[in-house]
Amino acid sequence: MSKDLSNYRKSYEKQELLENNCPENPMELFQTWFLNADSSDTVEETNAMTFSTIGKDGFPKSRIVLLKKYTWEGFIFYTNYNSEKGKAIEGNKNICVSFFWPALEQQIIIKGQAEKLSEKLSDAYFESRPDGSKLGAWASEQSKVVKSREELDENLKTFEKKFEGEEILRPKHWGGYLIKPISIEFWQGRPNRMHDRIRYSLHKDFSWKLERLSP
């Protein structure tokens, strides 16, 4: 099997990213870009981010995770702590996430460290979820090998019966992480592959250094 993709090309010409339009804090620029993407009819699931970890086997692994909140401090998402993702974070807190909005010819690449949220914050978010999603958090032993789809469905039915007529509380193995960024790069496509790349790096005094990178 073979297919030559060398002629797959697109000219990026929609926008530019210049230093004089960049605020001192990258979270301000992140919010500007995010809200613009979220209001665009051409972008679906604006909060979908590629989440990369280094596993205990030494290999990097990337998957799509949904961003649930961002603050001045960083980026918040939720998962099963016993999943492959959770175990990778337990062994190595250094992670990378990226957003790619091709319709806007933009991507954002974030390096940082992930740390667990407090149980109180995880409880509050879990309470806001639909009952089906709550039950799914109980029924799925995320990343564990299962024999069949039927086994998953039976697990769900078991917890539906268990919690019938009762409040569905958050399982202790499920909760949130806060990603504290140390580097945020904004990438804007430009013609002739001369893309704009602006990187913010965090200093020890919590100020940010802004640099332009060659494309």
Sign of CA dihedral 147, 152, 154, 158: positive
- ∠ CA(174), CA(175), CA(180), 5° rounding? 140
What are the DSSP E strand ranges found in the chain? 48-54, 60-66, 69-70, 75-80, 94-101, 106-116, 174-188, 196-202, 208-213
Residues 6+ apart with CB under 8 A from 155: 139, 140
Residue 193 catalytic?
yes
Of 198, 162, 164, nearest to 183 by C-alpha is 198
Which listed residue (63, 149, 170, 193) is catalytic? 193
Residues 89 and 83: beta-carbon distance below 8 Å: no
Residues 67 and 47: beta-carbon distance below 8 Å: yes
Catalytic residue positions, numbered: 193
